[in-house]
Amino acid sequence: MCSAYLSSRELMHKKIELIKELDATLDFAKSTAQLEIMLYLSTSKKSPTVREIAQALNMKLKTAYDALNKLINKELVERTDEGSYKLSTLGNEYVEKLVSLIVDGELRGSQQISLNVNNINAIIRNLVTFKHVHDVMLILALANSDKIELKKLAKLFKTSEQTLSEHLELFCKKDGSLGLLKRTVGSDGTTYYSLTELGRQEVSKFMTYRRLRNNKLLLAIMRVTRSLTPKQAILRMALSSYVLAIAGMYTILFTYTGIIISSVILAYLSAVMTVALYYDLF
């Protein structure tokens, strides 16, 4: 069977579709655990137990359990009668599709791809790139600014500016080519990234973006706290609430019992809000 390299336009379109599908199907904006498990199951000669999966992927047992339960609910993974796990028919189709789009940048059609350790490692490396691009696109779409410094983005992702820049450059607009992102350099040498028109069109289709764009309160909190992501904004707001609550308790400890109780309630509500929103934000 033949395999043809994609044109620049087709390849960019396939990458965009892959990012959107990861976002919608595997909740890739939060973690790669589900996809790592799927790739591992696709290479395993036998159906492994959750403990074997966790050990093979150097993953916490609880993380593996949670990811497997989500995959089962999505009908991508099945639990056998013996208590082990395997990919479902839908799961196998998804992995084949994913690999055909990522490995060597080729579209292999219906050609069967043999996964091995090297292929999996290559895919995971690509997924780190996809995750960074996905998150940067969301950040830029939600930000109250047309561009954001590379330095701030790298600090948020806890990675080096060079590594993040290498990832983003793969999706940057260059002369005569399509791109989701655009890189500019200020007069002081500061590097910035912004969304292209194509990038804005595509990020508007992301499930996470559609969920957050109409949350005016959350966006307002992001503006006030000068945060890049909703989760960062909520955590900063909660921290401020804790500090104010503690300060209030110490100030009026022996004077106003009612205000003390109010301060405790404020701290409690802040903690609840933080935990509740953490699981719905990137």
Domain stops at, among 175, 207, 239 = 207
Residues 47 and 99 in one domain: yes
Q: Do 162 and 261 reside in the same domain of the chain?
A: no
Question: Whole domain around residue 192: which residue ranges?
Answer: 128-207
pLDDT at 112: 43
Residue 26 is predicted with a pLDDT of 76
Same domain, 108 and 39: yes
Assess whether pLDDT exceeds 90 at residue 281. no
pLDDT band at residue 262, thresholds of 50, 70 and 90?
low
Give the total number of structural domains in the chain. 3
Which has more pLDDT, 248 or 61? 61
Per-residue pLDDT of 40-75, as tens digits, reads 898 888 999 999 999 988 899 999 999 999 999 999
**Residues 123 and 139 placed together within one structural domain of the fold:** no
On the question of pLDDT at 161 being above 70, the answer is yes
Give the rounded percent of residues in the chain with a pLDDT score beyond 70. Answer: 65
Task: Find which of 3-7, 105-109, 178-182 is predicted with most confidence, using mean pLDDT.
Answer: 178-182
Q: Give me the chain's average pLDDT, please.
A: 76
Distance, in Å, from the CA atom of 235 to the CA atom of 238, rounded to the nearest integer, reads 5
What pLDDT, on the 0 to 100 scale, is given for residue 129?
80
The sheet with strand 181-185 has its strands ordered as: 148-149, 191-195, 181-185
Among 57-61, 234-238, 266-270, the least confident range: 266-270
Indicate the pTM of the whole model. Answer: 0.61
Residues 15 and 122 placed together within one structural domain of the fold: yes
- Tell me, yes or no, whether 170 and 117 share the same domain: no
Do 134 and 40 reside in the same domain of the chain?
Answer: no
**133, 171 in Cβ contact below 8 A?**
yes
CB burial class (10 A; 0-12, 13-18, 19+) of residue 182?
Answer: buried
CATH number at residue 55: 1.10.10.10
Q: Are residues 108 and 137 in the same domain?
A: no
Asked which of 127, 147, 173 is the last residue of a domain, the reply is 127
Pairwise CA distance, residues 105 & 4, whole Å: 10
How far is 58 from 188, CA to CA, in rounded Å? 43
Which of 127, 145, 167 marks a domain boundary? Answer: 127
Do 172 and 232 belong together in one domain? no
Handedness of CA 252, 255, 257, 262 (dihedral sign): negative
Same domain, 190 and 138: yes
